[in-house]
Amino acid sequence: MKKVVRLTESDLVNLVKRIISEQEEVSYTIKSNGSFENASNETRPELKIFKGAKFVKNGDVLVANTKYQFVDSRTGVKIGYGPKDALKFEYTGKVTYNCAKGKFTVNASKSEYWEQNGGITKALAPFCKTKSKPSDPNVVKNVVNSAGKLPIKSVGSNAPKLSGHMCDQTTGNVKLFTGKSYKYCMDSQNQKYYFKGTQGEPLQKFPDWTEATGSGLESIKSKVFFDR
């Protein structure tokens, strides 16, 4: 028996955001641990980050939300940063690589750090020069039914504008419902269902009526119209 995945409007918003993020993201995951010397004084504590930290391009910097530590520059023993966190040996937060400076910063320290052997720095350098891929508001890709995700059939870029779309007309064949971030439409004559954004990011990505298919169609039918 085929399992039908039913998604709420909130599910739809979050899924679209995730897919758009995947389309635009330029990132690199480091393959080994890294140690970085304090740029102002090599005797001060070093910064240590760990294999698996994922750096994502954000303008002119690469940012990883990950675990990191400070270690004694001579012994490598874990230490806290400053008197306030003297006994705090692990931190979680942003590790930022400034492409122009070739240095790292973290939210727990005011210092800058650099890599002496340059292994991770060299790996990140090509991504500093890579531009993020622009998202296409008419295409949502790589969504699999079996994973419980939402396939959406969008109006192609070569299709005519939908300013005269039937969902914008006041006919007896159309039923409309407005949610928090989306407007939904049912064409009762042809048994087709559409949605479009009404505010924020959904409005930017789906400004025109877009036909829903698959589990997205089932969600709109069951949650928006049939349950009311």
List, for residues 113-161, the tens digit of each pLDDT value: 999 888 999 999 999 887 655 444 444 444 434 334 444 444 444 444 4
pLDDT digits (tens, 9 = 90+) for 193-221: 888 888 888 888 888 888 887 777 887 87
In a domain, 210, yes or no: yes
The reported pLDDT for the residue numbered 98 is 95
Select from 105, 128, 151 the last residue of a domain: 128
What's the rounded Cα separation, in Å, for the pair 105 and 11? 35
Say whether both 114 and 141 belong to one domain.
no
Q: Containing domain of residue 93, as a range? A: 26-128
The reported pLDDT for the residue numbered 20 is 54
Total domains in the chain come to 2
Say whether both 31 and 122 belong to one domain.
yes
The reported pLDDT for the residue numbered 14 is 65
pTM beyond 0.85: the answer is no
pLDDT digits (tens, 9 = 90+) for 68-108: 999 998 898 888 876 666 667 889 999 999 999 999 999 98
Say whether both 42 and 107 belong to one domain.
yes
The reported pLDDT for the residue numbered 21 is 54
Say whether both 143 and 107 belong to one domain.
no
Say whether both 146 and 98 belong to one domain.
no
- Span 32-41, mean pLDDT? 93
pLDDT for 224 beyond 90: no
Say whether both 118 and 202 belong to one domain.
no
